[in-house]
A and B are shown apart, each in its own frame.
Chain A
Amino acid sequence: SQQGEEDPQALSIQEGENATMNCSYKTSINNLQWYRQNSGRGLVHLILIRSNEREKHSGRLRVTLDTSKKSSSLLITASRAADTASYFCATDAYSGAGSYQLTFGKGTKLSVIP
């Protein structure tokens, strides 16, 4: 099954700076989702962008999607120490027999230094 690949694997920034994470994938998708995971916890859904959308905003989050390049980016503006977490992209695609499957990448580990 296809999988999103995040880049970079790890990112360390100062509080107040912007953080950008990228996700690339291999085949056509229905939508792409970003999730956040604090250490040792479950994932929390952040934002969903459909294949016919190019950009979406939610608070300090900005997501872009370029289907021609099969890539997406997540921008967190004015980062805070509380943003420290792992961020995963998940691609939703048709998996056959009338079913869709959400496939997760390996994540970007973001550290925001106070």
Chain B
Amino acid sequence: DGGITQSPKYLFRKEGQNVTLSCEQNLNHDAMYWYRQDPGQGLRLIYYSQIVNDFQKGDIAEGYSVSREKKESFPLTVTSAQKNPTAFYLCASSIDHATSGRNEQYFGPGTRLTVT
């Protein structure tokens, strides 16, 4: 059963704590992405990675960090520096990024993070 998994589905944290969201894919895709979605809004790109051990900032990278030590995994850490961390976080992957404009992105089910 191929696809992208994100865990957990719901996550609750206290303000000031760092939290790491998991994203795993078994599609053998080179490129992976993290997006943030706020109510009634579209998706905004946080970080993306084209290959292992490489990643690039997206439009709203401040307060977030990522790593790409394995092709299958692209965890996202929401740090205490992120001013408004409560949101729905979506991970996606595509065959590659260099020509990603020509390829569709496959999305995980998302993690809803609530910080109080």
Residues of chain A touching chain B, judged by Cβ–Cβ distance below 8 Å, are: 1, 3, 30-31, 33, 35, 40-45, 48, 50, 88, 92-94, 98-107
Contacts and interface: CB of A to CB of B under 8 A. Distances in A.
B42 to A, nearest CB: 4
Contacts, number: 66
A100 B99 CA distance: 7
Given A88-B42, A102-B105, A104-B42, A42 B98 contact: no
B100 A43 contact: no
B108 interface: yes
B69 interface: no
Contact of A106 (B42, B98, B109): B42
Given A42-B4, A100-B100, A101-B101, 18 more contacts: A40-B110, A42-B90, A42-B92, A42-B107, A42-B110, A43-B92, A43-B105, A48-B102, A88-B43, A92-B102, A94-B101, A101-B45, A101-B58, A102-B101, A104-B35, A104-B43, A106-B40, A107-B42
A3 B101 contact: no
B42 A45 contact: no
Contact of A44 (B58, B100, B107, B110): B107
A33 B45 CA distance: 16
Interface in B86-106: 88, 90, 92, 97-102, 104-106
B100 A102 contact: yes
